[in-house]
A and B are shown apart, each in its own frame.
Chain A
Amino acid sequence: MQPHETISRAIRAAASDGRPALVAFMTAGFPRKEDFAGQLAAIGEAADVIEIGVPFSDPMADGMTIQRSSQVALRQGVSLRWILDTLAALPARPHAPLLLMSYLNPLLAYGLDRLPAAARAAGIAGFIVPDLPFEESDELRAALEGEGLALVQMVTPVTPAARLAVLCEAARGFVYAVTMTGTTGKSVSVPEDVLGYMDRVRAVSPVPVCAGFGIRSAGQVRRMTGHVDGVVVGSALVEVLERGDNPAAFLRELRAG
């Protein structure tokens, strides 16, 4: 099984009881670099897929929480290289497949030629690159495909139908259905038209569809049930980690509501 298939399978397996799977986002090294491995294990107790954020100086798709977490991580010297080295050296990695969320420039600085093999060796199954438009993604997609790694595609409520079909066709792992036009972190209500949009994405996607941006409560997750295969929980989980609370307990509550 290719690494990108482990992502799709984990989401489908978790969603088989009807409830959306949980894709849990954490900023690597936040709030403390030395807690990274411990946090990963704690989140892995309840998450179906773990999305590890590579901190970036200019996180233009992210709201206040993830901007702040990125700055704190960068000040401690967290880098893509450190994340991959740390993961590769872990005695045991979580059972849940791992994704890296990174803006493009840290990947370019690392080198697209050596990134896929290093990522695979570190147990990474795929990537989310929010500032890489599909039309510019051939080089990275080809490089990742060589190692069987996913490049998750992001779609939004304003993505036209023809483009939606192209993006879903190219997506590996899952399709990231952004709930709104804006940045991460603000809570979203889930009106009928958002559910209709999720249904449209799901109708054309060969891989699972996960809704993200602004998912904070069990009520939202419940409302999404039947319309998505999974939800991405980012800023709300980062805030849990910031407070030092138990991430697994928070994730279980989110899905149990």
Chain B
Amino acid sequence: MLGVEAGGRGPGLGDNSATLTYGRPGVLQGSYTMILQDENGQVQETHSVSAGLDYSGVGPEHALLMATGRVTYEQATDDEALDALAECCHAEGILPAIETAHAFAGARRWARDNPGKRILIGLSGRGDKDMPTLQKTLLKGMP
């Protein structure tokens, strides 16, 4: 299984929400999981175009799935997620949530290297709630 986390604007501290890639184990708001934090345990600011991913922690199930090797996690940047969202709209008429669009971006990348294979994507949410964000990003400058 493949998981895709928010690569945001890039690898810098505060530019992404890629907790599993850059975080360390810790406790935030009651969960022992991977946390974006400094060496003193202070939680760091994050960024993602997707509000639902813009968080310094991650569901502890994901931390466990990574630790046990059941899921491999990679990242999609803001731009990659928005591109995948646009492609999904054009090709299927489906508007995924920007959170889910990260999975589409990861799936597209995986498909290139694995032609002919079947992929199942968990479409975890719809994107009508994201229209204000899309107007400021993907649709910027459009009438």
Contacts and interface: CB of A to CB of B under 8 A. Distances in A.
Interface of A: 56-58, 60, 74, 79-81, 104-110, 131, 133
Contacts, number: 43
A169 to B, nearest CB: 24
B18 to A, nearest CB: 19
B26 A108 contact: yes
A105 B30 contact: no
Determine the interface band of chain B, counting residues with CB < 8 A from chain A. Answer: 10 to 19
Contacts of A79: 40, 42
Contacts of A131: 27, 29-30
B35 interface: yes
Residue of A56, A81, A104, A109 contacting most chain B CB atoms (<10 Å) = A109
A138 to B, nearest CB: 14
A109 B28 CA distance: 12
B113 interface: no
A81 B40 contact: yes
A36 B44 CA distance: 25
Contacts of B26: 105, 108-109
28 contacts: A57-B42, A57-B43, A57-B44, A58-B43, A60-B29, A79-B40, A79-B42, A80-B41, A105-B26, A105-B27, A105-B35, A105-B37, A105-B42, A106-B40, A106-B42, A107-B41, A108-B25, A108-B26, A108-B27, A108-B41, A109-B37, A109-B39, A109-B40, A109-B41, A110-B40, A110-B41, A131-B30, A133-B30
Nearest to B25: A108
